[in-house]
Amino acid sequence: MSESKIYPVPPAIAATAHINQARYQQLYQQSVKDPDGFWAEQAQEFVTWFQPWTRVLDYNYGPDEVYIRWFEGGKLNVAYNCLDRHLEKRGDQVAIVWESDDPNVDRRLTYRELHTEVCKLANVLKSRGVNKGDRVCIYMPMIPEAAVAMLACARIGAVHSVVFGGFSPDSLRDRILDSDCRVLITADEGVRGGRHVPLKKNADHAMAECPDVTTCLVVKRTGNAVEWRDGRDIWYHDAMAGASDQCAAEPMDAEDPLFILYTSGSTGKPKGVLHTTGGYLVFAAMTHRYSFDYQDGEMYWCTADVGWVTGHTYIVYGPLANGAKSLMFEGIPNYPDMSRFWQVVDKHQVNIFYTAPTAIRALMRAGEAPVKQTSRASLRILGSVGEPINPEAWEWYYHVVGDGRCPIADTWWQTETGGHLITPLPGATPLKPGSATQPFFGVVPALVDATDGTPIAGAGEGALVITRPWPGQMRTVYGDHQRFIDTYFKQYPGYYFSGDGARRDNDGDYWITGRIDDVLNVSGHRLGTAEIESALVLHSAVAEAAVVGYPHDIKGQGIYAYVTVMAGITQTDELKRELVQLVRNEIGAIATVDIIQWAPSLPKTRSGKIMRRILRKIAANEISTLGDTSTLADPTVVEELIAHRANQ
Q: Are 471 and 420 in contact (CB under 8 A)?
A: no
CA 423 – CA 531 distance, rounded (Å): 30
Q: Which distant-in-sequence residues (6+ apart) come within 8 Å of 525 by Cβ?
A: 308, 386, 590
- Is 407 a binding residue for ligand WTA by CB under 6 A? The answer is no
Q: According to the binding rule CB under 6 A, does residue 411 interact with ligand WTA?
A: yes
Q: Tell me: is residue 542 an annotated ligand-binding position.
A: yes
Alpha carbons 533 and 562: distance in angstroms, whole number: 9
Does the footprint of ligand WTA cover residue 386 (CB under 6 A)?
yes
Does the footprint of ligand WTA cover residue 233 (CB under 6 A)? no
Q: Nearest distance from residue 500's CB to ligand WTA, in Å? A: 5
Among 170-178, 305-313, 468-476, 567-575, the segment contacting ligand WTA (CB under 6 A): 305-313
Which residues have a Cβ under 8 Å from the Cβ of 300 and sit 6 or more positions away?
Answer: 292, 294, 319, 324, 325, 326, 327, 350, 351, 352, 354
Measured from the CB atom, the residue of 71 and 412 that comes closer to ligand WTA is 412
Tell which positions 597-636 bind ligand WTA, by CB under 6 A.
Answer: none
Q: How far apart are CA 411 and CA 383, in angstroms?
A: 7
514 contributes a contact to ligand WTA by CB under 6 A: yes
Based on the shown chain and the rule CB under 6 A, indicate whether residue 512 belongs to the binding site for ligand WTA.
Answer: yes
The annotation status of 411 as a binding-site residue, yes or no, is yes
Asked if residue 162 lies in contact with residue 261, where contact means CB atoms within 8 angstroms, the answer is yes
Answer yes or no: are the C-beta atoms of 320 and 326 closer than 8 Å: yes
Which of 263, 287, 355, 476 is the binder for ligand WTA (CB under 6 A)?
Answer: 263
- How many H-runs (helices) and E-runs (strands) does the chain carry? 22, 31
| 307 near ligand WTA (CB under 6 A) | no
Closer residue to ligand WTA, CB minimum distance, 80 or 511:
511
Q: For ligand WTA, give the closer residue by CB, 77 or 263.
A: 263
Provide the 3-class DSSP secondary structure of residue 446. strand
In this chain, which of 316, 344, 381, 385 binds ligand WTA, going by CB under 6 A? 385
Q: Which residue is nearest to ligand WTA (CB)?
A: 415
Residue count, binding to ligand WTA (CB under 6 A):
24
With beta carbons less than 8 A apart as the criterion, state whether 266 and 528 touch. yes
Q: How many CB atoms lie within 10 A of CB 11?
A: 8
Q: For residue 410, state whether it binds ligand WTA (rule: CB under 6 A).
A: yes
Nearest-angstrom CA–CA distance, 178 and 635: 41
Rounded CA gap, 461 and 452, in Å? 13
Q: Which residues contact 68 (CB under 8 A, 6 or more apart)?
A: 57, 59, 469, 473, 475
Residue 94 interacting with ligand WTA (CB under 6 A): no
Specify the residue, 265 or 370, whose C-beta has the smaller distance to ligand WTA: 265
Stretch 173-202 residues interacting with ligand WTA (CB under 6 A): none
Residue 310 or 326: which CB sits closer to ligand WTA? 310
> Is residue 502 at the binding interface for ligand WTA, with CB under 6 A as the rule?
no
Binder to ligand WTA among 116, 186, 415, 487 (CB under 6 A)? Answer: 415
**Looking at beta carbons only, is 74 or 418 nearer to ligand WTA?**
418
Residues 131-170: x where in contact with ligand WTA by CB under 6 A, - otherwise, as a string? ----------------------------------------
Count of residues in the chain: 648
* DSSP notation for 526-563: EEEHHHHHHHHTTSTTEEEEEEEEEEETTTEEEEEEEE
Q: What is the C-alpha separation between 78 and 282, in angstroms, rounded?
A: 10
Query: Is the Cβ of residue 438 or residue 521 nearer to ligand WTA in the bound state?
Result: 521
In the complex, the smallest distance separating the C-beta of residue 360 from ligand WTA, rounded to whole angstroms, is 12
Task: Kindly state whether residue 343 participates in binding ligand WTA, applying the rule CB under 6 A.
Answer: no
Residue number, 80 or 478, with CB nearest to ligand WTA: 478
3-state secondary structure of 574: helix
Distance CA 39, CA 285 (A): 13
Region near ligand WTA per CB under 6 A, out of 378-386, 390-398, 442-450, 596-604: 378-386
Residue ranges at the known binding site for Mg(2+): 537, 539, 542
| Contacts with ligand WTA, residue ranges (CB under 6 A) | 263, 308-310, 384-388, 410-415, 436, 498-500, 512, 514-515, 521, 526
Residue ranges at the known binding site: 192-195, 310, 334, 386-388, 410-415, 500, 515, 523, 526, 537, 539, 542, 584
